[in-house]
Amino acid sequence: MDCPRCSATLKTYTLEGHQAEVCESCGYAGVAVEHGSEPEEFESWQDALARFRDG
Ligand SMILES: [Zn+2]
């Protein structure tokens, strides 16, 4: 899957049973969920990914 913003290859992260498609080129993050996406959960994803990338 390619990034909808810049067409770079997205990386798939799995955290706490959820998957997210993340572009390391432009910072795009798409959350793959089966039962509707919630903006609040998306914000927590950004925090989780920030911690993940900080190591
Ligand atoms: Zn991108």
**C-alpha 16 to ligand 1 mean position (Å):** 24
Residue 27 makes CB contacts below 8 A (sequence gap 6+) with none
**C-alpha 3 to ligand 1 mean position (Å):** 5
How much is the pLDDT for 30? 83
CB 6 within 8 A of CB 23: yes
**C-alpha 35 to ligand 1 mean position (Å):** 25
Residue 53 makes CB contacts below 8 A (sequence gap 6+) with none
Task: List per-residue pLDDT tens for the chain, 55 residues long.
Answer: 799 999 999 998 887 787 888 899 999 988 765 555 555 555 677 787 788 777 6
C-alpha to C-alpha distance for 43 and 17, rounded to whole angstroms = 16
**C-alpha 55 to ligand 1 mean position (Å):** 21
